[in-house]
Structure 1
């Protein structure tokens, strides 16, 4: 039986980072190494799959933009449409990995495995985590049971769904978690154990694609004494929507709520989330409820919904309820 054919698409990030000395784990150049160099540091890859590689970008992911998401999605869709590819692994910086992953989770039209992976330590550091993370990502992408689970993230032996995964630590190798639902599986020593499946619309089941426009949507965070002037400024900057990361249960002060009402009256989509990092936020205070989506994921979904013509509040709420 032939091995799965897995394409590794590199986009840069810490996993390909290079520092001036092995002790440097926070000061380094992201995306400095080529994907072939990354693979050369991972013994046993060719025992998992027929691996091919390509260098799509060499980006520090804090500089990722919606234009980057779309360009990457176009290339990945081309690969997924090929009969010569059984699954994809995408290397990516951790700063915005969750946003890229969720965008791809919503727009790629495929049942094939797509796994994003990164690292918290550059490739030149003492005890880098990238090589084992990459080995695990290829293990997951090569697993037949990974099909039709949407876009996945392989990190520190965990397998996370793109919808729920988030970066929860700025430094440690166990930087990713899914606070509301936990991992979808575990990967260790070339073996995958599945724990759950995603239950919301993704990939081939959504109305979105890499051709869906991405209108501008901003994010603001609530805090004690926050100025309503910042909310009013969103309406003046050309944004089509605002994600409100409110205190507690997505709440807003009297002043903030009045400003949010002004945005809604002006025709902007206003979506309510929480700054706490977990929890389920319903519709309320006149705003669409994001459910368990983080503010950053809610922004991605709102941009796509607006681009697909789903900006009317009831329709937008339906998009959040099903995705």
Structure 2
């Protein structure tokens, strides 16, 4: 109502002033490190560089145009290359974001993040932070020191998205290369080009010159509709879940070792439809009877795992990950284990999230 009133007032006074002159949303950038905060030895080093070097204030100063989009402030939550993020860092990010979205004067949050595990942090936030405010996770494929660095424009677009009123209640986003992706189904698909992220279900929309264009919504549960909540998670660790990558000529040793190390669930990143080699099945059934959840995902980047296809999941009391890739299945399994050890209930969660 305030923006509409100010618009009418400006027109009545004959003023040709942009709406942002009167009211801009407040966006907080939470910096965690990664390539977007990296530095190479020279401008031609786009693949060889050191991540997590540039502090948040310098990131914001490098893109002064973002202040035209919103009132932007920065918080340095972490300074780490994202492949080194553990449960402790993941929970730290989620708690910081949760703290910020609870503030009435914060309209949106941007998280700068390394691209290696960016999709995992984004999905975790969509499962655990209860809000309808835009949360945007952004990174870059090239460091700021490189020729044609993509970080500055990605950051500009991420702030534009976090400040957009029409981005509310649509979930957590990954903004890369002007594409707006759902945190749930986006994944890193290439490591040397700026179009590094994709979703088999397509982007939610795109962002061009600071304006959002939408094409679809997320069908699964997220944020306010989630039964998980970061405020209910204690400590700095989640239940231990590990991934075993499927291939030919497999041995059962990795599954047994993870169970011995305390894994409460094992994600089998199987071939094809989450297939399991016949010599591995007895080991998985033995572990399942010992209380280790067995979850069939796939190493195939598209499609989804069908229940009771390839393996009799109902008979074995196994879970299928549906279309979640192994790394996201790992996160959902860990959160599920904070609530239940019942395989049927965990399977429900995989259908709904």
TM range (shorter): over 0.9
**Are 1:320 and 2:344 counterparts?**
no
Aligned counterparts, 1:1-323, within 5 A? 1=3, 2-179=23-200, 181-210=201-230, 211-212=232-233, 214-284=238-308, 285=311, 286=313, 287-309=318-340, 311-323=341-353
The structure number with the bigger radius of gyration is: 2
Separation in structure 2 between the aligned mates of residue 63 and residue 229 of structure 1, nearest angstrom: 25
Residues paired across the two proteins, number: 321
Separation in structure 2 between the aligned mates of residue 182 and residue 256 of structure 1, nearest angstrom: 35
Q: Is the 8 A contact 1:212 1:304 kept in 2?
A: no
- In structure 1, the partner of 2:18 is none
Shift of 1:43: 4.0
Alignment deviations for residues 1-41 of structure 1 (CA, whole Å, 9 cap, x no partner): 31111111111100010111111112212111111211222
Alignment deviations for residues 216-271 of structure 1 (CA, whole Å, 9 cap, x no partner): 00001110101112122222111000001100011011011221111111111111
Residue aligned with 1:255, SS: coil
Separation in structure 2 between the aligned mates of residue 308 and residue 98 of structure 1, nearest angstrom: 23
Shift of 1:212: 2.8
Separation in structure 1 between the aligned mates of residue 64 and residue 149 of structure 2, nearest angstrom: 14
Residue aligned with 1:100, SS: helix
| C-alpha RMSD over aligned residues | 1.0
Separation in structure 2 between the aligned mates of residue 139 and residue 301 of structure 1, nearest angstrom: 29
Separation in structure 1 between the aligned mates of residue 296 and residue 73 of structure 2, nearest angstrom: 42
TM-score by length of 1: 0.97
Which ranges in structure 1 are unaligned for 5 or more consecutive residues?
A: none
Residue aligned with 1:243, SS: strand
Shift of 1:283: 2.4
Q: Is the 8 A contact 1:169 1:176 kept in 2?
A: yes
